A and B are shown apart, each in its own frame.
Chain A
Amino acid sequence: MDPALLLGQIFNGVSVGSLYLLAALGLALSFGLMRVINMAHGEMLMLGGYLAYLTLQVVPGPLGIIAALPVAFIGAALFGAFLHTALISRLAARPLDTLLATWGVSLILQQGARSLFGAIGVEVTAPAWLDGAVAVGGASLPYARLFILGVAALVLAALALLLARTRIGLLVRAVNQDRMMAAATGIDVRRIDLIVFSLGTGIAGLAGVVLALLGPVTPTVGQSYIVPAFLVVVMGGLGSITGTVAAALILGLVVALSQLAVDVSLSQVILLLFVILFIQVRPEGVVASRSRSLDA
């Protein structure tokens, strides 16, 4: 096989994996903490994409996309806080019902975007400094994809610092380990839930900005990344950031490398088969949480 082609696909895999990671981090954080999945998470990506579009209308220059990142993060995080307070915290003990209720939210948000911006979608033009590519070993690595990688790495580093070094991070880890015990020591677990959920939707908003660099922002833009992101959560292991990162990169590479042999649609099938095979070997996920409780 052509080594340059292989190298290019590996780079693509890491790049797709970093998108899966940005889309899945929020899901994995909230799932670890509350055991619920927000089916409207894909629409947080969409929201981030439209916020990037709107920011670029106000700040058109080359730094527009940089300005869009905090706007999208804060916008999506605020919506997440609203969603958590109004709906998810009320359903906390019913994970499957949460899936359905948040799917309803997702339908409403998609149709809302269709009414506001039209079904065709809007274009976010990448700034000139993201045009072009760097050549490594015969493969060309586009700047836009390197930018995505950079954003993912920064988000990950910030999240790791937050969890490991701050008081909030300490509380999050405490609730993650043992919710009852944490509550008994006086931690306001519901506030921690709210903070983590908003943080997760905020990260999805960031993912929406970088997605907007790759293609038009449409009402269903989130849907194309959300199912792989769900699979990342399934494969990652409960509440483990390391597991989520590993699962996202593995699945990104599976998709990109399978496309060397088959077309894009078959790579979706291979992705699913890979996850099913993976849980035959490691049903507890890439990184297993060690616990004596029966229903972890």
Chain B
Amino acid sequence: MPDAAPGLARQFGIAVLLLALAAAAPWLLSAYDLNLLARFLALALLALGLVLTWGHGGILSLGQGVFFGLGGYALAMHMKLDGLAPGEVPEFMMLSGVETLPWWWAPFAHPAVAIAAVVAVPALVAALFAWSVFARRVSGTYFSLITQALALAFATLLVSQQDLTGGFNGLTDFQTLLGADLNDPGAGRWLYWLTLACLAAGWALVTLLLASRFGTMLRAVRDGENRVRFLGHDAAAYKIVAFAVAGALAGAAGALFTLHAGVISPAMVGVVPSIEMVIWVAIGGRLSLAGAILGTVAVNFARDKVSSAFPELWPYALGALFILVVTTLPGGLAGLRKAR
């Protein structure tokens, strides 16, 4: 079984080594590169969820940006409200003539609510969405197409509700979080370590899930959904749980990314960014957590370098990557190592 979760002890060893190296990054990298690395490690948290759903569950989501966005917007809404007096509304609302805070913004003024929402809202939306499709035994390509429509609908909705969501420009210009000044030079380091800690926790969570009975059942559903059903299991339930966990991870990733980038906008959650998230995992290896993290960091660094030097070349390169990886390297980079 090439895709069974490898020995936990070995995985743990690799994880500790990588973690130690990554924790030292603030002393090794420039502030600019550290910020980039922090963003990409946040994105890697989302990629872990794709390994769970796509690699081990056979569920290809082309709408992961939605859950990323829900997490990002949840935290961004809190930061827009942080420091405002009661009754005040964020500046972008005032500019569009909104005088009173919409009811669904109000709970996010409370930091604990907002931080819980970062994970809970995307997880709930993902679970509800997956349930509405999987419970009717609609899956495979159909599911992927519906997730893409979800990404389109979400991004379109965000853009159109300019006065309530910040529209095309999204939410930006954050000052403080939990009383800490985000523009302080030291804040970048702490946020980086926070991201690293979240990524390590996410890695541990998904590793445990994949090694557990749940992981075995998820792979069984992927390889033979009907057989699992005939053995008396609720196949849809495994897929729904996996999709919800991936949604929660994407939400946390979105919140962390928003902190590093200082902005969350519809351009990061729509159809195109959502499908690009899949390529990070495809290149790293859809069955390997380490591969997914490395793939995410590598593709995004390449994007940063190539698209700043030759902006018109990047779409060609990305398109060619999609085609080449899928046709010649279905296991990704991690698959290469195993094949050797």
A272 B316 Cβ-Cβ under 8 A? no
* Interchain Cβ contacts under 8 Å between A and B, 27 examples: A31-B141, A87-B327, A90-B327, A91-B327, A96-B58, A96-B140, A99-B62, A100-B275, A100-B278, A101-B323, A101-B326, A103-B275, A104-B318, A104-B320, A104-B323, A106-B319, A107-B319, A108-B315, A111-B319, A223-B271, A227-B149, A233-B145, A269-B153, A272-B150, A272-B152, A276-B133, A280-B136
Given that A227-B152, A275-B146 are contacting pairs, would A104 and B322 also be in contact in the complex, using a CB cutoff of 8 Å? yes
Which residues from 1 to 60 on chain A have a C-beta closer than 8 Å to any C-beta of chain B? 31, 35-37
> Which of B154-162, B237-245, B246-254, B290-298 faces chain A?
B154-162
B138 at the interface (CB under 8 A from A): yes
B157 A272 Cβ-Cβ under 8 A? no
- What is the 8 Å Cβ interface bit string for chain A, positions 218-237, against chain B (1 contact, 0 not)? 00000100010011011000
B273 at the interface (CB under 8 A from A): no
A114 at the interface (CB under 8 A from B): yes
B323 A111 Cβ-Cβ under 8 A? no
Complex partner residue of A279 from B133, B156, B282, B316, CB under 8 angstroms: B133
B137 at the interface (CB under 8 A from A): yes
A101 B315 Cβ-Cβ under 8 A? no
CA distance A221 to B327 in the complex (A): 27
Interface centre among B160, B312, B316, B322 (most CB of A within 10 A): B322
Contacts of A91 in B (CB 8 A): 326-327
CA distance A269 to B153 in the complex (A): 5
- Chain B's closest residue to A282 (CB) is B136
- What is the 8 Å Cβ interface bit string for chain A, positions 148-187, against chain B (1 contact, 0 not)? 0000000000000000000000000000000000000000
Given that A230-B148, A272-B150, A276-B146 are contacting pairs, would A100 and B137 also be in contact in the complex, using a CB cutoff of 8 Å? no
**Closest Cβ of chain B: how far from A286's Cβ, in Å?**
14
B312 A115 Cβ-Cβ under 8 A? yes
State the majority secondary structure of interface residues on B: helix
Interface centre among B271, B282, B315 (most CB of A within 10 A): B315
CA distance A99 to B323 in the complex (A): 10
- Chain B's closest residue to A104 (CB) is B322
Extra inter-chain contacts (16) besides given A96-B58, A115-B312, A227-B148, CB under 8 Å: A37-B141, A94-B330, A97-B330, A99-B144, A100-B326, A104-B321, A104-B326, A107-B316, A107-B318, A107-B322, A114-B312, A230-B145, A233-B145, A263-B160, A268-B156, A295-B226
CA distance A230 to B63 in the complex (A): 14
Given that A280-B136, A294-B226, A295-B226 are contacting pairs, would A101 and B141 also be in contact in the complex, using a CB cutoff of 8 Å? no
**Closest Cβ of chain A: how far from B235's Cβ, in Å?**
13
Which residues from 80 to 127 on chain A have a C-beta closer than 8 Å to any C-beta of chain B? 87, 90-91, 94-97, 99-101, 103-108, 110-111, 114-115
CA distance A101 to B150 in the complex (A): 21
CA distance A279 to B133 in the complex (A): 7
A266 at the interface (CB under 8 A from B): yes
Which residues from 204 to 250 on chain B have a C-beta closer than 8 Å to any C-beta of chain A? 226
B157 A269 Cβ-Cβ under 8 A? yes
Given that A104-B321, A269-B156 are contacting pairs, would A37 and B326 also be in contact in the complex, using a CB cutoff of 8 Å? no
- What is the 8 Å Cβ interface bit string for chain B, positions 119-151, against chain A (1 contact, 0 not)? 000000000010011001110111011101110
Contacts of A96 in B (CB 8 A): 54, 58, 60, 140-141, 144
- Chain A's closest residue to B227 (CB) is A294
B interface residues (Cβ-Cβ under 8 A, vs A): 54, 58, 60, 62, 129, 132-133, 136-138, 140-142, 144-146, 148-150, 152-153, 156-157, 159-160, 226, 271, 275, 278-279, 282, 312, 315-316, 318-323, 326-327, 330
Complex partner residue of B157 from A110, A111, A266, A294, CB under 8 angstroms: A266
CA distance A235 to B152 in the complex (A): 18
A61 at the interface (CB under 8 A from B): no
- Chain A's closest residue to B275 (CB) is A103
A234 B142 Cβ-Cβ under 8 A? yes
Contacts of B279 in A (CB 8 A): 100
Contacts of A90 in B (CB 8 A): 327
B144 A272 Cβ-Cβ under 8 A? no
Contacts of A107 in B (CB 8 A): 315-316, 318-319, 322
A283 at the interface (CB under 8 A from B): yes
A103 B322 Cβ-Cβ under 8 A? yes
A231 B322 Cβ-Cβ under 8 A? no
B60 A111 Cβ-Cβ under 8 A? no
Contacts of A101 in B (CB 8 A): 322-323, 326-327
B322 A283 Cβ-Cβ under 8 A? no
CA distance A94 to B62 in the complex (A): 16
Contacts of A269 in B (CB 8 A): 153, 156-157
Which residues from 257 to 289 on chain A have a C-beta closer than 8 Å to any C-beta of chain B? 263-266, 268-269, 271-272, 275-276, 279-280, 283
CA distance A269 to B318 in the complex (A): 29
